[in-house]
Each structure stands twice: as C-alpha cells, then as structure tokens.
Amino acid sequence: MDETELILKFKQGDKSTFRPLVEKYQDSVINTCYRFLRNKEEAEEAAQEVFLKVYLSLDSYQPKSKFSTWLFKIVVNFCLNKLRDKKKSLSFQLEEDLPSPPEDQPDRSLEKEELKRLVREAIDSLPENQRTAILLNKYEDLSYQDMAKILDCSVSAVESRLFRAKENLKKKLDPYIEKDAI
C-alpha cells in the first residue's frame, strides 16, 4: 500500500495505517532532528513529538505536495522552534565522506576528526536559512522544488541560499584546505 492509500485509510478512520508511515520515515526524521539538535535523546524525543503532531494533523493533510515534503516541513519548523526556545545556536552534524584511516596511522584519525570539527563550526556560523538549506540538500537529498515548499520560498531563493552557503563555507574553510590536493 502506498502513502496516499495509507493516508486515505487513516482519514477514513483506520488509525493503524499510521504505523507504516512512521516506520518508513522514523530513521530519517530522527537523523534530521539530530543534525539540528546534536543530542541523541533530544532528537528521539523531538521525533516523537513530530510524529504526534503529524498524527494529530494528518486529517488536514492535502496532497498538494508529497507527504515527505509536508513531513519535513514539520520536522524543520519543529527543530528551529525548539532551538529558538532554548536560545541555542543552530548547528548541524556534518559527516564528511572521508576514507577511514589505516589503523596504524592514528594521526590520520585525529586529522579527520579535526576536519569534521572545523566543518561543523563553519556550518554553525552560517545564517539560519543557509544552514537549513545545506541540511536539506546534503542529508535529505530533496529536490529544489521540495526544499522551496519546506522553506516557504521560491526555487531561486533555495538556489541562492545554497550558493551563498557554499561560498561562505569555502571562505571559512579555505585556510584549512591543502593546496597540494587540488
């Protein structure tokens, strides 16, 4: 049964159809919450709260956009509100796809961890709209159209945010990039 059928049955009173939706998106929602909140327990709690919000408002869902787009709009807004409430700076966990260092080279492992820390700090320093665009682009692999719906902006605004975010990251990380590696 596809998402549309599950949602239709849910709206007709079969609340058991909600479980397959949760099972399909649970890991992705928790991971997205974690990248915003950077705390495993908070991310799991946030995901539960998001799914409760989705459960309570699923009857009002209109399939003008994909369910996943609607869901991630709720996730992003919930996490941003949670961060604002805590007056915490927004930060993401960015894991670079760097090769694992050989076990006999512990200094390489330290370099990799240092690079991850520098990238996280660079992302943390971006304006909120750029950080959110990077998160949705890198981790959720959403189309620009879906990102625009989630962020309540135009596709060109998404493109602009991503461009500015990448330019800002290049400037911030330039001192740490080995010129020999190019």
Same domain membership, residue 105 and residue 178: yes
CATH of the domain at 141: 1.10.10.10
Residues 66 and 83 occupy one common structural domain: yes
The pLDDT-based confidence of 121 (bands split at 50, 70, 90) is confident
**148 is in which domain, residue-wise?**
96-182
Regarding whether 123 and 82 lie in a shared domain, the answer is no
- Gap between the terminal Cα atoms of the chain: 49
Distance between CA atoms of residues 17 and 4, nearest Å = 11
> Domain boundary residue among 59, 89, 119?
89
- CB burial readout 84-101, b (16+ within 10 A) else e: eeeeeebbbbbeeeeeee
pLDDT value, residue 108: 61
Predicted pLDDT of residue 178: 62
Other beta carbons within 10 Å of 149: 20
**The pLDDT value given to residue 95:** 44
Does the structure show a pLDDT above 70 at 99?
Answer: no
Q: Both 63 and 110 in a single domain?
A: no
Last residue of a domain, one of 53, 68, 89: 89
pLDDT digits (tens, 9 = 90+) for 27-83: 999 999 998 888 899 999 999 999 999 999 999 998 888 899 999 999 999 998 888
Domain of 45, CATH number, reads 1.10.1740.10
Q: Do residue 75 and residue 105 come from a single domain?
A: no
Instruction: Count helices and strands (H / E) in the chain.
Output: 8, 0
Residue 23 has pLDDT above 80, yes or no: yes
